[in-house]
Structure 1
Amino acid sequence: MNIAAPESIALFCLTPGGIRLARRLRDHLTLTCYCSESLLEAGFEPFDGTFANSVAQAFDSHSALIVIGATGITVRVIAPLLKDKLTDPAVIVIDERGQHVISLLSGHVGGANALTRYLAGVLEADPVITTATDVNQLAALDTLAVQLDATLHDFRHAVKRVNHLLVCGGRVGLCWDHDALPADARWPVEQCDTRGFIPVTSLAALPANLDALVCVTLQSALPALPLPVYKLVPRRIVAGIGCRRGTSLSLLTELLHRQFATNQLDPLALKAIGSIALKGDEPALQQLSDEYRVPFNLFAASSLREHEHRFPQSDFVRQTTGVGAVSQPVAWLMSNGHLVGDTLREQGVTITLGVAH
């Protein structure tokens, strides 16, 4: 859970003590606070019938839930709502005297552990965190993935295996593949929690007796190595796309995959797609955005004209869109000028890739 997006936090008060704590927390975070009709005051929303109903609604619409009350009642209320550790919101419980802040659900991917530490600092309370990696003062692969906005193939298995190795004293290497990145866009190594990982500076010279290796990379393939390798792929690649009206989703998907393969990039690295504002209602582009679960960014023709001089231009494209090129200036703007490889041009489609910060 990203504390920089506080509007997604719902807080539930069950007692007058909870109301008092909520007032304190609202000085530090923007919260949507709920309570019963009997406790209602300015700045609070009434429960939708019951506490359980309100929690059920917030569970699907907020990235974090804070309950000021007992752990037991919170567990009973959220139990029927649980779906998946990768999608469930963070759930934190605070006792009404503000002595303990408990990370109850989605500690790593959901961000409950980080939010728990923050709230405990605000209240001068004890943070209660029980995830094994945190208890042993170790990093966790899923936490590292969140810090890098990254994912893995078979995420669940990889996280379970690597975190288990770390907790059990296994030797897990961590390699940062900087080669695919511009010099001013390297991985933020110093901002990431890497406790317990063994630094690996070269895949050609691995430390002795490693049990597994995690490699932070955008590459589609790594050299064959004599140990289990888990590829952690940050979402850093943007795709500027131009296309004719009525282009099919299947064609866009095929060409985008081909462009990734040509540049030896993992499709998991896709961060966003973009096009000219004129294409905002193009079904295939909207569907592509939905299929990859990435934003679809649109740019005015006037913004693209400022950069079209950098690229080959087409009179046909200018007559159609008002600008001589689409995919290249879009990718240029989305990546701050860090383009990757050549532009793909085929069947009325152009795709240009870039590396975003």
Structure 2
Amino acid sequence: MNIAIISVTNQGKEISDKLCEELSENPTILSVTQYHKNVFKSVDETFDKCDCIIGIMASGIMIRAIASHVESKLSDPAVLLVDDNANFVISLLSGHMGGANDLTQYISSILDSTPVITTSTDVNNRVGIDSIAKRYYFNLENPKNIKFINKALVNNRLVNLTLPHSLDYIIDDNLRKSYNIILDNDINYVIAEIDGHEVILRPKKLVMGIGARRDIPTQKVYYAIIQACEILKIPPNRIDFFATADIKSNEKGILDNVDRFNKELIIIDMDRIKNFDNNECSHSDFVMKQFGVKGVCEPASLLANDNNSHLIFRKTAYNGVTIAVSSN
């Protein structure tokens, strides 16, 4: 996720600095860029490039700045609003598919602010079907039917939600309040249905790239995998493939864990990594000096996934192991 923070006043800049420092520690956030003043120009530069815009200013300024850019709740970035005293964090745009509602809860916890969320499903303690898609890395089919599913939820009707046991990690108390849950191992996706209106959620392909020191112990690799998955709020079995560079293809610590989770390990040739140019990938001086490439886990993850994949978990080091995760 790429986040832009736009502030106007000196007070707002202080809040922006605090958010930037905190958010930069989160491995699911790839970049945080700060803008001060020039609100309309900043929005013009970031609206189509960022996943989230956080405005620290009066609501009227932000609404006017984004008005000409707004197109669809399926593609617009999340837009959050914070007042100059950080009393409130408001989910302004793309609460579900853009993730603004969840981000509002997160940002308000950093600032010790009151979260303000106005979407009907959320204020009625129901989980919108598009929120599930965003939260758990699903592609959403039949988006025109979202309104039928979410309207039924708001009206306290139980929507049928059919899914396989392999995806039952998404089930929690809030989901049980919203849906009539049906487990069916004959499918490998999620179906929400009411009155003949269906929305289908198909799992995105998740690839975990792994880099490691030579002769890394198996348990250290296992710990790194578990830690990354906990941050992503998915079980390790949700990972579709593991990936690493050919120089690590015989690393026992990696191979043992691939076998443990009964997954396939995709080996990426070092020449492909060397020639891979993607601005999501970070640069390691140590890896460049040792192997002549910028890094291992991030490019391996992206190259092993589809062409349109992007990082959802940037390179994070765990005691000799580096982990990155991409999604298609």
Asked if 2 retains the 8 angstrom alpha-carbon contact of 1:175 and 1:216, the reply is no
Residue of structure 2 equivalent to 1:283: none
2: CA distance, partners of 1:86 / 1:229: 17
SS at match of 1:165: helix
Residues 59, 230 of structure 1: alpha-carbon distance in 2 compared, 3 angstrom cutoff: closer
For structure 1, which runs of at least 5 residues remain unmatched after alignment?
Answer: 37-49, 204-214, 239-270, 275-296, 307-330, 336-355
CA deviations over 1:195-245 (Å, ceiling 9, x no partner): 533333456xxxxxxxxxxx994269x9xx99544332222488xxxxxxx
Q: Map residues 1-357 of structure 1 onto 2, 5 A cutoff.
A: 5=1, 8-30=2-24, 31-36=32-37, 50-154=38-142, 156-178=143-165, 181=166, 186-190=167-171, 194-201=175-182, 217-218=187-188, 227-236=196-205, 300=246, 303=249, 332-334=264-266
- How many Å apart are 1:72 and its aligned residue? 0.6
Residues 52, 202 of structure 1: alpha-carbon distance in 2 compared, 3 angstrom cutoff: closer
Residues 77, 272 of structure 1: alpha-carbon distance in 2 compared, 3 angstrom cutoff: farther
SS at match of 1:98: coil
Residues 195, 108 of structure 1: alpha-carbon distance in 2 compared, 3 angstrom cutoff: farther
1: CA distance, partners of 2:175 / 2:44: 35
- How many Å apart are 1:27 and its aligned residue? 3.5
Q: Which has the larger radius of gyration?
A: 1
- How many Å apart are 1:88 and its aligned residue? 1.1
**What TM-score do you get using the length of structure 2 for normalisation?**
0.57
1: CA distance, partners of 2:6 / 2:240: 35
**What TM-score do you get using the length of structure 1 for normalisation?**
0.53
SS at match of 1:194: helix
- How many Å apart are 1:139 and its aligned residue? 0.6
Q: Which runs of 4+ in 1 moved over 6 A?
A: 271-274
- How many Å apart are 1:87 and its aligned residue? 1.4
2: CA distance, partners of 1:94 / 1:234: 33
- How many Å apart are 1:334 and its aligned residue? 4.9
Asked if 2 retains the 8 angstrom alpha-carbon contact of 1:55 and 1:77, the reply is yes
CA deviations over 1:10-65 (Å, ceiling 9, x no partner): 111111110122233233112321114xxxxxxxxxxxxx3211111111221111
- Root mean square deviation, CA, Å: 3.7
1: CA distance, partners of 2:264 / 2:67: 47
Aligned residues: 219
After TM superposition, the structure 1 stretch with the greater mean CA deviation from structure 2, 167-176 or 140-149, is 167-176
Residues 230, 92 of structure 1: alpha-carbon distance in 2 compared, 3 angstrom cutoff: closer
2: CA distance, partners of 1:63 / 1:10: 8
Which amino acid is the alignment partner of residue 97 of structure 2? Answer: V
2: CA distance, partners of 1:174 / 1:129: 25
Asked if 2 retains the 8 angstrom alpha-carbon contact of 1:216 and 1:233, the reply is no
Asked if 2 retains the 8 angstrom alpha-carbon contact of 1:70 and 1:95, the reply is yes
For structure 2, which runs of at least 5 residues remain unmatched after alignment?
Answer: 25-31, 208-238, 253-262, 268-325
CA deviations over 1:260-310 (Å, ceiling 9, x no partner): xxxxxxxxxxx9999xxxxxxxxxxxxxxxxxxxxxx89649849x9xxxx
Asked if 2 retains the 8 angstrom alpha-carbon contact of 1:216 and 1:231, the reply is no
SS at match of 2:264: helix
The structure showing larger relative contact order (alpha-carbon pairs under 8 Å, at least 6 residues apart) is 2
Asked if 2 retains the 8 angstrom alpha-carbon contact of 1:151 and 1:232, the reply is yes
2: CA distance, partners of 1:20 / 1:95: 12
Identity between Structure 1 and Structure 2 (%): 31
2: CA distance, partners of 1:143 / 1:216: 24
Asked if 1 retains the 8 angstrom alpha-carbon contact of 2:145 and 2:198, the reply is no
